[in-house]
Amino acid sequence: MDFTLNDEQQMFAETARQLFADTCTPDHWRRQMESGAVLDEERWAQIVDTGFPLVLLPEEAGGLGLGELDFAVIAEAAGYNALPDPLVESAGIATPLLAAARPDIELMADPAAIVAIQHPANPYVADAEAASALILHKEDEAYLAAREDVTLKRKESIDPFRRLYTVEWDPAKAQPLGAVDWELALDRGALFAAAQGLGLAQRAVDLAVEYAKERQQFGKPIGTYQAVKHHLSSAQVAIEFARPVVLAAAADLAHGDVQSRARISHAKLVALEAADQAARASIQVHGAMGYSWEVDVHLFLKRTLALTSSWGTPYFHRQRIMHRIAAQPLGPDQTFARETVHA
């Protein structure tokens, strides 16, 4: 029993925090919002250099063969910086799914290649325009189509950095991948949404703390007032009790049993609730400034809103937890238990 991150995971987290802090500044956000570019090529090249897109790929597909916990700490940093690039959806969900189905596919040789995924849980495909290829689904079977062989229609998201599309495609022009593990893809999607939620939440709190230390009213910083303090303390409590759930869900995702799925669902629910609470508290603490486009807090609110219902709605995830409650033994000795058949 050891609930700590190893050195490699701490290093990934630190590298990601540093890279995103340097390359995802408010200036970068604004420039990309104005240009409308679907990808910041320069930043993406730096991300590729770190090896992050290879973390979850198996070694036979040229990857690092690491686990979900290694990637989760990167996704958390992505959330903290509202990363606009499709790192999480491509490298966290789509390419590992593709590598499992076709480890020798040519696309795998290019670590910079972006793959988008159309998943039954999501009505729209994120980042399809920046992708070289798309994983598509039809009657539970998966297909791979090149970007130029499909027709994309943009659906504007409230999050300026979420690029959503509907896809028209012809199975005759796509490569069949057969049956793939859609549920595993959903588990990863939900888990990494949760990990991003932790980052979104912490950034929203940090921005508000910074502001509350500076902003003066009635002759002193507003951060001295308990009404302001307590908003932010409550949000921080929510973060503190979401983070261990996300880490435990990541560490045990590979079991793919009722317990691990319930824990992923738990992580998804509470991390995005924490992000929602933190983002709304942050806007409130910023006052009218928080309601302005100029102040960046709204980016965190909007990403939270988008992630809350992608990769399974809160209702979907509550149902998975209820299933675990009803179908498996409960109690204090069951925290780390694995599925028992016919319990």
Partner 1 sequence: MDLSYTPEQQAFRAEVRSWLEAHVPKAPLEHYDATREGFEAHREWEKTLKSGDWGMVTWPSEYGGRGLDLIQWLIFEEEYYRARAPGRVNQNGIFLLGPTLMEFGTHEQKSRFLTRMASGEEIWAQAWSEPMAGSDLAGVRATAVLDGDEYVLNGHKIWSSRAAFADWAFGLFRAPGSERHHGMSLIFFPLDAPGVTVNPIRKINGHVGFAEIFLENVRVPAFNRLGEEGQGWHICMATAGFERGLMLRSPARYQVAAAELARLWQARKDDPWVDPALEADVVRAFMNAEAYALSIYQTASRLMAGAKIGPEASTNKIFWSELDIHLHRTALAILGPEAEVLSEPGAHDWIDDYIFSLAGPIYAGSNEIQRNIIAERMLGLPRK
Q: Which residues of this chain interact with partner 1, rule CB under 8 A?
A: 1-6, 9, 69, 205, 209, 212-213, 220-221, 223-224, 226, 228-230, 232-234, 236-237, 240-242, 244-245, 247-248, 251-252, 263, 266, 269-270, 318, 321-322, 325-326, 330-336
73 or 83: CB nearest partner 1: 73
Please state the closest distance from residue 329 (CB atom) to partner 1, in A. 9
Q: Shortest CA distance to 13 belongs to which of 24, 5, 22?
A: 5
146 or 209: CB nearest partner 1: 209
3 or 342: CB nearest partner 1: 3
Task: Name 178's bridge partners.
Answer: 142
Tell which phi-psi region holds residue 62, choosing left (phi > 0), alpha (psi between -120 and 50) or beta: left
CA distance 69 to 56: 10
CA distance 301 to 292: 13
Tell which phi-psi region holds residue 219, choosing left (phi > 0), alpha (psi between -120 and 50) or beta: left
Please state the closest distance from residue 62 (CB atom) to partner 1, in A. 26
Please state the closest distance from residue 200 (CB atom) to partner 1, in A. 17
114 or 191: CB nearest partner 1: 191
217 or 234: CB nearest partner 1: 234
Please state the closest distance from residue 332 (CB atom) to partner 1, in A. 4
Please state the closest distance from residue 211 (CB atom) to partner 1, in A. 11
List of residues 6+ apart from 335 with CB closer than 8 A: none
CA distance 235 to 66: 32
CA distance 13 to 207: 20
69 or 78: CB nearest partner 1: 69
Please state the closest distance from residue 256 (CB atom) to partner 1, in A. 15
Please state the closest distance from residue 2 (CB atom) to partner 1, in A. 5
What single-letter DSSP state applies at residue 329?
-
Please state the closest distance from residue 331 (CB atom) to partner 1, in A. 5
CA distance 28 to 183: 35
What value does the CA radius of gyration of the chain take, rounded to a whole number of Å? 20
CA distance 204 to 161: 17
94 or 232: CB nearest partner 1: 232
Q: Shortest CA distance to 70 belongs to which of 181, 188, 179?
A: 188
131 or 245: CB nearest partner 1: 245
Q: Do the bridges between strand 175-179 and strand 216-217 make them parallel or antiparallel, or are there none, so unpaired?
A: unpaired
CA distance 320 to 106: 37
